[in-house]
Chains A and B, each alone.
Chain A
Amino acid sequence: MKKVFIEGAITPEFIAESLAKHQTKHSIGAHNMFLGQVRADEVENQKVKGIEYTSYVELANTQLETIREEAFQKFNLTCMHIYHSLGFVAAGEVCLFVFVSASRRKEVYAATEYLVNRVKEEVPIFGKEIFDNETHQWKINQ
């Protein structure tokens, strides 16, 4: 089982390191990354200062494994990585990192969108948007 969940924000250093690890794989000709960043939305004069993420991890890992397998069947990919934060992620920080690599570029564009959509729709992750004044609302994916 690939590790997906990371405590806290996904750092730029982690993302750069992930890319560096693939530079020895010379069959790869195209990488594509999706980075989801926490927005400081404003609701009734209160600004979101961050999102507290929780997950039903046991089911999330099963769903992610299925999504990974189906994406490998659908697209001709060399590598695929999905990372999502748990715990508090401040506005401006990255909470979702999807990274796919293939020999050519067409596959990676389509695969990235496919993976991001499926993660958002099918993986039991919950987000509590915390405002500056410590009140909160629950995030719902549109």
Chain B
Amino acid sequence: MAVIRYFGQIAEATGCTREQISLVNSDLKELLQTLNEQYDLDRFQKHIAVNQVLVNPDKACLIKDSDEIVILPPYAGG
């Protein structure tokens, strides 16, 4: 099962900070599309990290069942 983690206002929108999803040969774009249909995440600016590395969500990226995908809202440090 792939783990998806959410932070800040994105966690508020999804109602959870993490969930597990079963994926078979899934692409990051498809996964984000599915999550958007469920939680309306396109209203947020966001960064995406796969296994602790920031990725460009517009580029093709295969997601494995063991991956951790993290969806981050805009940064607000300081």
Residues of chain A lying within 8 A (CB to CB) of residue B77:
53, 55, 84, 96, 119-120, 123, 125, 127, 141
Please judge, given known A-B contacts A54-B8, A138-B9, whether A126 and B78 are in contact too, CB under 8 Å: no
Residues of A within 8 Å of B, CB-based: how many?
26
Q: Is A91 an interface residue (CB 8 A)?
A: no
Give the distance in Å from the alpha carbon of A58 to the alpha carbon of B53 in the complex: 10
Residues of chain A lying within 8 A (CB to CB) of residue B49:
56, 59
Q: Is A128 an interface residue (CB 8 A)?
A: yes
Residues of chain B lying within 8 A (CB to CB) of residue A127:
76-77
Residues of chain A lying within 8 A (CB to CB) of residue B54:
59
Does B75 contact A124, Cβ atoms closer than 8 Å?
yes
Chain A, residue nearest B17 (CB): A54
Residues of chain B lying within 8 A (CB to CB) of residue A122:
75
Give the distance in Å from the alpha carbon of A128 to the alpha carbon of B8 in the complex: 7
Does B70 contact A141, Cβ atoms closer than 8 Å?
no
Closest CB of chain B to A84's CB: distance in Å? 6
Give the distance in Å from the alpha carbon of A36 to the alpha carbon of B77 in the complex: 10
Please judge, given known A-B contacts A58-B52, A59-B54, A124-B47, whether A138 and B73 are in contact too, CB under 8 Å: yes
Please judge, given known A-B contacts A58-B52, A62-B52, whether A120 and B75 are in contact too, CB under 8 Å: yes
A13-56 vs B, Cβ < 8 Å mask (1 yes, 0 no):
00000000000000000000000100000000000000001111
B38-55 vs A, Cβ < 8 Å mask (1 yes, 0 no):
000000000101001010
Closest CB of chain B to A93's CB: distance in Å? 13
Chain A, residue nearest B12 (CB): A138
Closest CB of chain B to A8's CB: distance in Å? 16
Q: Is A106 an interface residue (CB 8 A)?
A: no
Closest CB of chain A to B47's CB: distance in Å? 7
Closest CB of chain A to B27's CB: distance in Å? 22
Closest CB of chain A to B14's CB: distance in Å? 14
Residues of chain B lying within 8 A (CB to CB) of residue A113:
none
Give the distance in Å from the alpha carbon of A95 to the alpha carbon of B78 in the complex: 6
Residues in A lying within 8 Å of B, measured CB to CB: 36, 53-56, 58-59, 62, 84, 95-96, 116, 119-128, 138-141
